[in-house]
Chain A
């Protein structure tokens, strides 16, 4: 009775996952979709705790389970509520890593069970299903271990890179090294499953350690700007790892949720790559050679010209059409609100003001939209890249606030540049380009930007928030 009720709950939860994901992909229903999936998850989790039974035995250790869930809920809610909007991507990465670690831990415990199981039980298992049953069990446990560990280690590195505490790191021949590492992992796993050696624990823990290592080296060389793609890929890995748990316990909701995310995550990864006009292979492998070459190739430099605050104020208030190109720097300076104020002020003077949003502005696709929405910037003022590029020709002033790589002409002209091939905002089509930056330091991808040295470009140095505040005051006093 109880277990059939649980089956029903799992069915409901599986449906909510599909419906929730579907709703999440439409702007109007996205928030509800998230809620729907969350409710389904709650039903599945509570159902498991109270109704799950194996051979008539209900679950035990309730004290441990509830204190674990309580602790996790507190930590999860606090970190999700406290994280700044700008740091959202690394938070997602960290959460993903925890899911991967969870899958790996399940495999570790299940293997430990197998090691310490009564030999008679193992014999019974082998008798019932033949050796194949034991091997199938091992295969699933190993798969969950390998994928979960890679996802965990990779996500932690991605997190470190996004918050700036870790730099890109690669050495010549790294992707050969990575392939070799993967081959060893698969070889050991294959041997463990097929030959069933007498001391399986050595093999198992070696595979665990090597998988962690692989996760680290998989993400180390990939450029910081490509982290969103990597996180999305690791996200789908974790989905597959969760599905392994579904196999292990013959649990349909884990299987549904896991495979669903695995497939959707893979597609999302590809869509993100497309938004940057690159292939997945290019993101994963392309970074290896580029970092070596680009140091020699970027020999831009020379003179740039500065513009004063009052000149900027005059230029902007007498323009017909102004475009603002917001970047991550704007968000870091928490200048979205004052930026919105500038926009309103200019509009009141009859200037048409719009925002040009590059698909990967910020740290992730859609990140900048979230940040501007937070500052009450109307939705219809945000122009996507294609449309903005068409309109730059008739624009008087483009104000670039803390954006760098998304307006770097090297993406078009310099094949050695790490961002070569990425579509950019063609701000140079406008009459004037004003760039606000703190200093001449290169952007997130660590590359020089020739745009700053072009004749049309004027630099307006200073912290984005401070500069905008002064600019608003200056325009008011005109």
Chain B
């Protein structure tokens, strides 16, 4: 019976499961041969990309009932923090890479 539940779950979420598996390989493959010089900027760039979590914060915020102050306050905080992650992350990465570019 449990087996059946698991199989059903896999079937109903198969596109998501495919994405997860493929993205794991893509993520590993894509940065496979990065030179050590770029470790810091790459980490910083990846840091900005996971800021995509901001989308979840926007959805939470947008769906909160106007009288649910807890949800509004927490959602607001989430949007602010998520935005800092995204914007700060991209800007700081750009600043690092700007230094490299002059030399090339």
Residues of A within 8 A of B (CB): 13, 17-18, 20-22, 24-28, 30-31, 33-35, 37-38, 41, 44-45, 48-49, 52, 54, 58-62, 64-65, 67-69, 71-73, 75-77, 79-81, 83, 85, 88-89, 91-92, 95-96, 98-99, 101-103, 105-106, 108-110, 112-113, 116, 132, 136, 228, 231-232, 235-236, 238-239, 241-243, 245-268, 271-272, 275, 359, 364-367, 369-370, 373-374, 376, 378-379, 384
Ranked nearest first, the 6 interchain pairs of A and B with the lowest CB-CB distance are A72-B83, A59-B62, A263-B27, A68-B79, A76-B88, A245-B56
**Nearest-CB residue, chain B, relative to A264:** B27
Which of B19, B45, B84 is A255 in contact with, Cβ under 8 Å? B19
User: B68 contacts which chain A residues (CB < 8 A)?
Assistant: 116
Given A256-B19, A262-B50, A379-B104, 17 other A-B residues pairs in contact with their CB atoms under 8 A = A21-B31, A27-B104, A31-B98, A54-B63, A59-B63, A72-B82, A76-B86, A92-B92, A101-B81, A105-B77, A239-B50, A252-B19, A259-B27, A261-B47, A261-B50, A272-B39, A366-B41
Which of A65, A92, A112 is B44 in contact with, Cβ under 8 Å? A92
**Nearest-CB residue, chain A, relative to B95:** A80
Provide the bound-state CA to CA distance between A243 and B50, in Å.
Answer: 9
Contact B49 A20 (CB under 8 A): yes
Contact A367 B53 (CB under 8 A): no
Could you jot down 6 A-B contacts, CB within 8 Å?
A26-B34, A92-B47, A92-B89, A95-B84, A365-B40, A366-B38
User: A91 contacts which chain B residues (CB < 8 A)?
Assistant: 88, 92
| Shortest CB distance A281–B (Å) | 19
Q: Say whether, besides A99-B53, A251-B56, A75 and B80 are in contact (CB < 8 Å).
A: yes
Which of B38, B47, B76, B103 is A95 in contact with, Cβ under 8 Å? B47
Contact A367 B40 (CB under 8 A): yes
Provide the bound-state CA to CA distance between A95 and B54, in Å.
Answer: 13
Contact B81 A72 (CB under 8 A): yes
Q: Is the interface of A mostly helix, strand, loop or mixed?
A: helix
Q: Which of A27, A241, A251 has the most CB of B within 10 A?
A: A27
**Nearest-CB residue, chain B, relative to A35:** B94
| Shortest CB distance A457–B (Å) | 27
Contact B74 A109 (CB under 8 A): yes
Considering only CB atoms and an 8 Å cut-off, how many residues of chain B contact the other chain? 83
| Shortest CB distance A255–B (Å) | 5
Provide the bound-state CA to CA distance between A254 and B76, in Å.
Answer: 19
User: B43 contacts which chain A residues (CB < 8 A)?
Assistant: 92, 228, 231-232, 235, 265, 268, 364
Residue B3 is within 8 A (CB to CB) of chain A in the complex: no
**Nearest-CB residue, chain A, relative to B32:** A267
Contact A259 B31 (CB under 8 A): no
| Shortest CB distance A264–B (Å) | 4
Q: Is the interface of B mostly helix, strand, loop or mixed?
A: helix
Contact A25 B42 (CB under 8 A): yes
Contact B34 A268 (CB under 8 A): yes
Contact B55 A253 (CB under 8 A): yes
| Shortest CB distance B76–A (Å) | 5
**Nearest-CB residue, chain B, relative to A385:** B36
Provide the bound-state CA to CA distance between A318 and B2, in Å.
Answer: 80
Provide the bound-state CA to CA distance between A384 and B32, in Å.
Answer: 19
| Shortest CB distance B92–A (Å) | 4
Contact A102 B35 (CB under 8 A): no
Contact B40 A366 (CB under 8 A): yes
User: A79 contacts which chain B residues (CB < 8 A)?
Assistant: 84, 88
Contact A373 B87 (CB under 8 A): no
Contact B88 A34 (CB under 8 A): no
Provide the bound-state CA to CA distance between A245 and B75, in Å.
Answer: 14
Chain B, 45-61, CB within 8 A of any chain A CB: 45-61
User: A13 contacts which chain B residues (CB < 8 A)?
Assistant: 52
Contact A109 B75 (CB under 8 A): yes
Provide the bound-state CA to CA distance between A113 and B79, in Å.
Answer: 17
User: B92 contacts which chain A residues (CB < 8 A)?
Assistant: 80, 83, 88, 91-92, 95
Which of B30, B37, B53 is A258 in contact with, Cβ under 8 Å? B53
Provide the bound-state CA to CA distance between A364 and B16, in Å.
Answer: 35
User: A255 contacts which chain B residues (CB < 8 A)?
Assistant: 16, 19-20, 23
User: B35 contacts which chain A residues (CB < 8 A)?
Assistant: 27
Contact B28 A61 (CB under 8 A): no
Contact A242 B50 (CB under 8 A): yes
Contact B45 A20 (CB under 8 A): yes
Contact A370 B56 (CB under 8 A): no
| Shortest CB distance B28–A (Å) | 5
Contact B52 A41 (CB under 8 A): yes
Contact B9 A136 (CB under 8 A): yes
| Shortest CB distance B87–A (Å) | 4
Provide the bound-state CA to CA distance between A30 and B44, in Å.
Answer: 12
Contact B52 A30 (CB under 8 A): no
Contact B56 A249 (CB under 8 A): yes
Contact B102 A256 (CB under 8 A): no
Contact A257 B52 (CB under 8 A): yes
Contact B19 A45 (CB under 8 A): no
Which of B19, B31, B87, B94 is A31 in contact with, Cβ under 8 Å? B94
Provide the bound-state CA to CA distance between A69 and B59, in Å.
Answer: 13
